[in-house]
């Protein structure tokens, strides 16, 4: 079965520190992969996506993610976290030919300490 | 940018009544919309895929007679929770499939509707 796993439920980092949120996937073939951010009262916002090609993907708000086929991972990174980055982050996958149906991970709640 | 709205943002209803939630794509047309359910501290679970002018496709385990979906136009899909019970209390989120900046497709999400059944 297709699945996306986010091992970390909560992460706390200090403002200005680097960030890495983990995501692992299990699909029969290489899926399309996405990272979304959810803030209270707002819809999920797409940070970045990987379809194919360059395995290092740049997104909005200074985020990037690296696709590693050997590790079935698509971890999200940011070199320096800002207090406004505190939110819930979801990794999602879509199987090739999956009709745009997304499978979401359970999310990682990011807290930023000032 | 592509904006999706949901109405209402919050609704409280009594057990046994029905509630309708609207999802609108404000500045683009969406032939496909999706409905998700999110439990507290949990992920989004896809309930159904809604295609304009045709019947919705429901995910396994989702009662189609309880969660009625209508996608009557290219900018509006509705979810009606019929004969609601307290266990239907949840956060319901819709998304609409639209073009992204590179000419591909992307799902744009609404802000969600918090349903509480008393």
CB contact (8 A) between residue A44 and residue B104: no
pLDDT at A97: 67
Is the sign of the CA dihedral B90, B72, B65, B81 positive or negative? positive
pLDDT at B39: 84
pLDDT at B6: 96
A64 has pLDDT over 90: yes
pLDDT at A98: 61
Q: What is the largest CA-CA distance in chain B?
A: 46
- Comparing A101 with A104, which gets the higher pLDDT? A104
CB contact (8 A) between residue B111 and residue A49: no
The average pLDDT across A60-73 equals 96
B103 has pLDDT over 90: no
B31 has pLDDT over 90: no
* Spatial distance between the Cα atoms of A60 and A63, rounded to a whole number of angstroms: 6
pLDDT at B5: 95
pLDDT at B40: 79
Which residues from chain B sit within 8 angstroms of residue A49, using beta carbons? 106
Q: What is the mean pLDDT of chain B?
A: 92
Q: Report pLDDT digits (tens) over B37-92.
A: 998 778 899 999 998 888 899 999 999 999 999 998 999 999 999 999 999 999 99
Q: Which residues pair with B35 in a beta bridge?
A: B48, B94
The average pLDDT across A49-53 equals 89
How near does any CA of chain A get to the CA of B14, in Å? 24
The pLDDT-based confidence of A92 (bands split at 50, 70, 90) is very high
The average pLDDT across B106-111 equals 91
Measured CB to CB, residues of chain A less than 8 Å from chain B are 36, 41-46, 49, 51, 90, 99-107
- Comparing B84 with B105, which gets the higher pLDDT? B84
Which residues from chain A sit within 8 angstroms of residue B108, using beta carbons? 43
Q: What is the mean pLDDT of chain A?
A: 93
Task: Give the number of other Cβ atoms within 10 Å of residue A97's Cβ.
Answer: 6
CB contact (8 A) between residue B46 and residue A102: yes
């Amino acid at each position: 079965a297709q699945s996306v796993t986010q091992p970390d439920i909560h992460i706390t980092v200090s403002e200005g520190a680097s960030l890495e949120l983990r995501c692992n996937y299990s699909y029969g073939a290489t899926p399309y992969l996405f990272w979304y951010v959810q803030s209270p009262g707002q819809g999920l916002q797409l940070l970045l996506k990987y379809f194919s090609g360059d395995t290092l993907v740049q997104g909005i708000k200074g985020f990037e993610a690296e696709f590693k086929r050997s590790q079935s991972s698509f971890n999200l990174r940011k070199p320096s976290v800002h207090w406004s980055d505190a939110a819930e982050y979801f990794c999602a996958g879509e199987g090739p030919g999956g009709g745009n149906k997304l499978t979401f991970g359970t999310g990682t709640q990011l807290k930023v300490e000032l | 940018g592509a904006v999706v709205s949901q109405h209402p943002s919050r609704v409280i209803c009594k057990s046994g009544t029905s509630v309708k939630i609207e999802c609108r794509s404000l500045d683009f047309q969406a032939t496909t919309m999706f409905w998700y359910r999110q439990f507290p501290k949990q992920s989004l679970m896809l309930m159904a895929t809604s295609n304009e002018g045709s019947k919705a496709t429901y995910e396994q385990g989702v009662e189609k007679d309880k969660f009625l979906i209508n996608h009557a136009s290219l900018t509006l899909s509705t979810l009606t929770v019929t004969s609601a019970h307290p266990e239907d209390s949840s956060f319901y989120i819709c998304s609409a499939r639209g073009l992204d900046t590179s000419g591909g497709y992307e799902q744009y999400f609404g802000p969600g509707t918090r349903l509480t059944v008393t």
